[in-house]
Chains A and B, each alone.
Chain A
Amino acid sequence: MPELKTVPLAEVSAKPKKKPFNVRKHLAHLFLLPAAILYGTFQLFPLITAVINSFYSWDGFSRDTFIGLQNFVTLFTESPFKETFVNAFKHNWTFFFVNVCTELVTAYILALIIHSRIRGKEFFKTIFFLPKLLSVIVIGFLFSLILNPTSGALNLFLKSVGLDFLAQPWLGSTDTALLTIILINGWAGVGFSMLIFLASLQSIDKEIFEAAKIDGASNFKIIFTITIPMTMNAIMTMTILTFIGCFETFELIYAMQGSSGGPYYSTDVLGTYFYRLAFGSVEGGQSIGLGSAIAVVLFLIIALSTAILMIYFKRKDFER
């Protein structure tokens, strides 16, 4: 039996049959098979079913009749669905922009610092990555305590250094709740992003910097004219991953602010909106059809935007 596989490529194709079936080449499909089966069965198939579900009306838990795009029409034209959708959609965008401006920028700066001449690189790399290892349940609980308006460490600290006016009910105000959650999200992710940027920085040929220095370029100039363009690939990868992450975001908000995205929907995102519709609140209020419709819209948003981002970055890449 094993001989079958050991037949050298040359021998098989040398046989003068009409259509030489390249056994060896086609055995290679076995490489693909396990991944394709697992992924197809446990990911793609349920997702397709979810898409199909969005074209049906639901009576409680049972699929009723095919109603075409009606669920989508309801979602975008009827109150309060359309308002809730727009509200949540905006928050997803806020999430993305603020996250890029805070987490990614911080991560990049930290990567630059650690890449430079500095002691204790390993220590800082390890410490900064640690939050990524915590579960959202833990993160949510810890920050709820730290941000508690009366007994939380942050407000007590602010008051003790005389910055009373800065002490806020962080998670209990419509002005600050979303921002706070985004920063917590960034807190957990900054180390990972930093390591990716660091990897990219280390791949740049050192001679380029030396040459620039000899030419008398300032550090700032080097960063903007050499470093950033040379690490564009990593920046692009992280921006796209952040985008996908921000539109899929759900768990942290759910763990900290509940499925309503409180207070008063100020942290509501498409993920929590989906969850509410698909599983209802404590009293009920479930609509699997509408929930699935949001899922589909969410997918379209992510797929289209990712494609646009990729094309945009590719073009930039090309110009360079």
Chain B
Amino acid sequence: MKVKQFLIWGVLLILSLAIVGCSSKETSKEETNNEGKTGEKTAEKVELTMYSWRPEDRDMYEKAIKKFQAKHPEISIDFQPYESTEYNTILSNALVSGDGPDILQLRPYSGAKTIADSNYLLPLDDLKEIGNINQEYLEAAKGSDGKVYGVPLSLNSGVIFYNKEIFDKQGIKVPKTWDEFLAVCEKLKKNNITPIAQSGRAAYLLSMTHAVIGPDAYGHNDFVDKVTSGNTNLKDPNFVETVQRMKDLEKFFPKDFIALEDNDAQTLFYTGQAAMYINGDYRLATIEGTAPDMKIGVIPGFASKDGGEPVVTTWVDGSYAAAKNTKHPEQAKLFMEFLASKDFGQIFTEESNRLSAVNGVTPKHPIVKEIAAAAAKNSTPYLMLVHFGEGEPTTKTTFENALQGMYLGKLTVDGVVDEAQKNAERAAKK
């Protein structure tokens, strides 16, 4: 009996000592290991971990990785997707501790900049295939030092999906300008169809809609240039006009839309209760997956005047970067090259029905093709995301939450603009 108790005590004591003792020893060993390995270059098998915030793309990546391994059988890639909402938390922790993945997906623009500026990434300016990607797209993955840190994955567009059957039945022509769009909405409403399946519980969907219906009111890229060069600000009457438009659209949204989730909005659209649905073009795959029989069309954007060309709101979605403290920088760069290659671009566009950021990749899906063609002619950046993604909180977040406030009667149109502008000024100061 007594021996047994003593054993228990002994084990406990040793355990507690072990926890304290071992750990410090192992840390130092690990550090020296790290340094030694960086220079090594062998054909031995390596495994790279890759973080992403798109669990739904798993199949696509698995196909792509197979293709990559055909050339580089010694490199295996462990694709680890996380929920988009938790991704930042997980990535921050992993990076701060130096325990991050070898390859990581960067949020575009200011998201990428923050991480690049904290010195966690390998510069990719000298990457072989980087020339395949439009200079303009690379802006989404640059640090403050102007170096490229990521390989952009896709070019997203904000579009208006519409139900072709409803449009045909109501004898509606696809609207080309804002005024025509309003007329269409009026008509649908009169016939008891919710014109736009908007949801507002997730505030970012409000700024998405704003990005799609706003640009022609503030004058597209001219305004973007002026705002970024400091010649005007968000209080510009043209910008206020865009917020006014959001307000005017309220009556065309579903009842209580602030309480609706994106899922609910999609359901309204699938079931024909609503005629249009505004979101990124990446929702195409979701819609076709859920309602394969539905006939949908796309309004890529509005033209400023009758007979003009539509202007598409575009932005670069995530890009992939190689972590600075990866143990296998050579191999990680090989994979980066693959991501920037046409091979990957083609797989990406075919599997996920989205626009690849790689030049010369042609989409097959007719709707994707249509958007691509329109975007190639005229495009304007997603203003809030591309140029107002800075500050704590970001101006984009402030803006979309303020829009929510406006629909709930807490803010006026000018109030929304005020909040956004104030935050932008504060962010600029830092």
Contacts and interface: CB of A to CB of B under 8 A. Distances in A.
Q: Do A and B bind each other?
A: yes
Interface of A: 1-2, 5-6, 30, 33-34, 37, 41, 59-62, 78-80, 144, 147-151, 169-174, 257-260, 262-266, 276-277, 279-287, 290
Contact of A2 (B3, B20, B92, B405): B3
Q: Of A169, A174, A282, which is in contact with the most chain B CB atoms at under 10 Å from its CB?
A: A282
Contacts of A287: 392
B255 interface: yes
Interface string B253-296: 01111111100100000000000000000000000000000000
Contacts of A78: 426
B202 A61 contact: no
A284 B107 contact: yes
Given A59-B118, A286-B392, A258 B202 contact: yes
Q: Of B88, B204, B390, which is in contact with the most chain A CB atoms at under 10 Å from its CB?
A: B88
Chain B interface size, as a band, is 35 or more
A61 B203 contact: no
Interface string B350-376: 000000000000000000000000000
B258 A172 contact: yes
Contacts of B109: 283
A30 B258 contact: no
12 contacts: A2-B6, A30-B9, A33-B12, A60-B118, A80-B419, A259-B85, A279-B92, A283-B109, A283-B110, A283-B394, A285-B392, A286-B114
B394 A284 contact: yes
Given A37-B19, A62-B96, A80-B426, 14 more contacts: A34-B16, A62-B118, A80-B423, A147-B259, A259-B85, A263-B258, A264-B401, A264-B402, A264-B405, A264-B408, A276-B393, A280-B392, A283-B111, A285-B391
Contacts of A285: 390-394, 397
A279 B89 contact: yes
A80 B405 CA distance: 15
> By DSSP majority rule, is chain A's interface helix, strand, loop, or mixed?
loop
Given A79-B422, A264-B404, A169 B396 contact: no
Contacts of B12: 30, 33-34
Given A60-B114, A264-B408, A6 B385 contact: no
- Please list the 8 inter-chain residue pairs (A to B) with the smallest Cβ-Cβ separation, ordered nearest first: A172-B259, A169-B259, A169-B256, A60-B118, A264-B405, A285-B394, A149-B256, A172-B258
Contacts of B389: 283-284
Interface in B47-105: 84-85, 88-89, 92, 95-96
Contact of B394 (A144, A151, A174, A281): A281
B84 to A, nearest CB: 7
B264 A262 contact: no
Given A280-B88, A281-B393, A284-B111, A262 B203 contact: yes
Interface string B391-430: 1111011100110110010110000000100110010000
Nearest to A266: B408
B189 interface: no
Nearest to B423: A80
A287 B392 CA distance: 7
Interface string B183-220: 00000000000000000111110000000000000000
